Structure 1
Amino acid sequence: MAKNEFEKLVNIIERLRDPEKGCPWDLEQTPRSLYPLMIDEVYEIVEAIQKEDAENLKEELGDLILHIILQTQIAKEEKKFTIQEVLQELNQKLIRRHPHVFGQGEAKNPKEVMENWEKIKEKEGKKKAKKVYSYLPALVQAYRMIEDHADWKKQDSEILQAIHEDLDILSNSSSLSMEEEEEKLGKILFEMALWITQKGKHPEEILKRYLQNLHKQKKNSGEKEEVPKT
Structure 2
Amino acid sequence: MTDKNLEAVQHLIEVIAKLRSPNGGCPWDLEQTPETLIPYILEEAYEVVDAIRSGDRAAIAEELGDLLMQVVLQSQIASETNQFSLAEVAEGIAQKLIRRHPHVFADVKVDSMEQIHQNWELIKAQEKGEDPNKTPRLSDKLRRYSRSLPALSAGMKISQKAAQTGFEWETVEGVWVKFDEELAEFKQALQNESKDNQESELGDLLFTLINVARWHGLDPDAALRSTNRKFIQRLAIMESLADESLENYAVEQLEVLWQQAKAKLNNEGNGNSIAP
TM-score of the alignment, normalized to the shorter chain, above 0.5: yes
Distance between the aligned counterparts of 2:84 and 2:92, measured in 1? Answer: 11
Say yes or no: does 1:229 pair with 2:247: yes
The aligned counterpart of 2:210 is 190
Q: How far does residue 190 in structure 1 lie from its aligned partner after superposition?
A: 3.3
Distance between the aligned counterparts of 2:109 and 2:174, measured in 1? Answer: 43
Q: How far does residue 185 in structure 1 lie from its aligned partner after superposition?
A: 2.4
Say yes or no: does 1:21 pair with 2:32: no
Which deviates the most, 24-33 or 128-137? 128-137
**Given residue 32 of structure 1, which amino acid in structure 2 is its aligned partner?**
E
Please give the residue correspondences for 1:93-172 in structure 2 after superposition, counting only pairs within 5 Å: 93-125=96-128, 129-130=140-141, 131-132=143-144, 133-134=146-147, 136-146=149-159, 149=162, 150-151=164-165, 154=168, 158-167=170-179, 169=181
Q: How far does residue 118 in structure 1 lie from its aligned partner after superposition?
A: 1.1
The aligned counterpart of 1:207 is 224
Aligned to 1:79, what secondary structure does the other structure show?
Answer: coil
Q: How far does residue 154 in structure 1 lie from its aligned partner after superposition?
A: 4.3
**Given residue 57 of structure 1, which amino acid in structure 2 is its aligned partner?**
I
Aligned residues: 221
Q: How far does residue 104 in structure 1 lie from its aligned partner after superposition?
A: 2.2
Distance between the aligned counterparts of 2:52 and 2:92, measured in 1? Answer: 28
Distance between the aligned counterparts of 2:233 and 2:20, measured in 1? Answer: 47
Identity %: 33
Distance 1:25 1:190, change over 3 A: same
Given that 1:41 and 1:64 are in contact with CA atoms closer than 8 Å, whether structure 2 keeps it comes out as yes
Given that 1:170 and 1:184 are in contact with CA atoms closer than 8 Å, whether structure 2 keeps it comes out as yes
Given that 2:156 and 2:210 are in contact with CA atoms closer than 8 Å, whether structure 1 keeps it comes out as no
Q: Deviations over 1:136-166 (max 9, x none)?
A: 43211113334654415647xx351222323
Aligned to 1:31, what secondary structure does the other structure show?
Answer: coil
The aligned counterpart of 2:265 is none
Given that 2:179 and 2:209 are in contact with CA atoms closer than 8 Å, whether structure 1 keeps it comes out as no
Q: Deviations over 1:37-76 (max 9, x none)?
A: 1111111112112222221111111011011101000100
Distance 1:229 1:218, change over 3 A: closer
Given that 2:100 and 2:123 are in contact with CA atoms closer than 8 Å, whether structure 1 keeps it comes out as yes
Distance between the aligned counterparts of 2:165 and 2:22, measured in 1? Answer: 54
Distance between the aligned counterparts of 1:170 and 1:67, measured in 2? Answer: 40
Distance 1:63 1:20, change over 3 A: same
Given that 1:97 and 1:120 are in contact with CA atoms closer than 8 Å, whether structure 2 keeps it comes out as yes
Q: Identify which of structures 1 and 2 has the higher relative contact order when contacts are C-alpha pairs closer than 8 Å and 6+ apart.
A: 1
Distance between the aligned counterparts of 1:228 and 1:22, measured in 2? Answer: 40
Q: How far does residue 93 in structure 1 lie from its aligned partner after superposition?
A: 0.4
1:177 to 169, 179, 188: 188
Distance between the aligned counterparts of 1:205 and 1:181, measured in 2? Answer: 23
**Given residue 166 of structure 1, which amino acid in structure 2 is its aligned partner?**
K
The structure number with the bigger radius of gyration is 2
Distance 1:168 1:16, change over 3 A: closer
Distance between the aligned counterparts of 2:72 and 2:147, measured in 1? Answer: 25
Distance between the aligned counterparts of 1:107 and 1:11, measured in 2? Answer: 43
Q: Structure 1 unaligned runs (5+)?
A: none
Distance 1:135 1:120, change over 3 A: closer
Aligned-residue Cα RMSD (Å) equals 3.4
**Given residue 177 of structure 1, which amino acid in structure 2 is its aligned partner?**
Q
Q: Structure 2 unaligned runs (5+)?
A: 131-135, 190-197, 249-276
Given that 2:155 and 2:207 are in contact with CA atoms closer than 8 Å, whether structure 1 keeps it comes out as no
TM-score by structure 1 length? 0.78
Q: How far does residue 105 in structure 1 lie from its aligned partner after superposition?
A: 2.3
